[in-house]
Amino acid sequence: STGDDQKKLDVLSNDMMINALVNSGVCSILVSEENEEPIIVPENKAGKFCVAFDPLDGSSNIDCNVSVGTIFSVYEKSPGSKGSVDDLLRSGAHCICAGYCVYSSAVELVFTFRGGDVHGFCLDPTIGEFVHTRVGMKFPEDGGKRIYSCNEGNYQHWDKPIQDAVQVFKTGEKPYTARYVGSMVADIHRTLLYGGIYLYPADKKSPKGKLRCLYEGIPMAMIIEQANGIASTGLFEGKIQRVLDLTPDEIHCK
């Protein structure tokens, strides 16, 4: 895997995702957080789409029964391409679909197509189908609840501007409430529904941050922006950028 400790459920979920996508007949190349190398779909089963995914985000929370999830982004092969890693190593402007599934008290699937609205579906186990329950999901117009979400255990390793910002959240005239699950899917899902700010800053240990572009940063940024939110890199490589403007230079880049 790419550095996170694998657990049994990681392996099972990864195998299920790969088997489903390879046999779907519509994918040509897959990138999984759990596999160091890309997965090339056999030519007789290959299609026009390229998919990057984290099969089980937040898996360190499995043993304590905290929410986990799946994140994915979908690209289309470039014209004339037979399907290669280069079809995925493009900015978020080329992502045609992004989504996540959160596994908790209910199973919810949230996704969006490029240029479209964000929609949510809830699994109804009595019929074995996802039911369209959240239409045109948007961040609350007034910003919603004053919640900030980050791992303050890394506070001492952050740059001073990030430390100062978090201090303002905590000690400003109207202080924010802290909420942090540690599963990105769960924290983003709450932020999308309730409002607030989620941040995962770079630090001295991880100067480029820890979120992987292809199957964490870009798909979540696409969902956030199309729900009328802002997905920013902050000051990254000398300038403030949209996450969707980043171009990955390798499949597991941060």
Catalytic residue among 9, 15, 36, 57: 57
Distance, CA of 98 to CA of 134 (rounded, Å): 16
Known catalytic residue: 159? no
| Identity at 211, one-letter amino acid code | L
Which residue among the candidates 34, 87, 187, 225 is catalytic per the annotation? Answer: 34
Tell me the residue length of the chain: 254
Out of 10, 108, 187, 225, pick the active-site residue: 10
Strand ranges in 24-163 using DSSP code E only, listed in sequence order: 27-32, 39-40, 49-57, 68-76, 95-103, 107-113, 118-124, 129-134, 147-149
Catalytic residue among 21, 30, 54, 88: 54
Q: Which of 21, 33, 214, 246 is catalytic?
A: 33
Whether 36 sits among the annotated catalytic residues: the reply is no
Type of residue at 33? E
Whole-angstrom distance, CA of residue 33 vs CA of residue 35? 6
Q: Can 225 be counted among the known catalytic residues?
A: no
Q: Please tell me the distance from the alpha carbon of residue 129 to that of residue 131, in angstroms, as a whole number.
A: 6
Q: Which of 18, 5, 130, 17 is nearest to 58 (CA)?
A: 5
Which residues on neighbouring strands pair with residue 129, listed in sequence order? 124
108 is catalytic: no
Which is the catalytic residue, given 87, 108, 187, 216? 216
Q: Which residue out of 4, 76, 159, 203 is catalytically annotated?
A: 4
15: annotated active-site residue: no
Q: Would you call 88 a catalytic residue per the annotation?
A: no
CA distance 81 to 75: 12
Is 4 known to be catalytic? yes
Which entry of 21, 30, 56, 88 is annotated as an active-site residue? 56
Clarify whether 10 is annotated catalytic: yes
| Active site (catalytic) residues | 4, 10, 33-34, 54, 56-57, 216
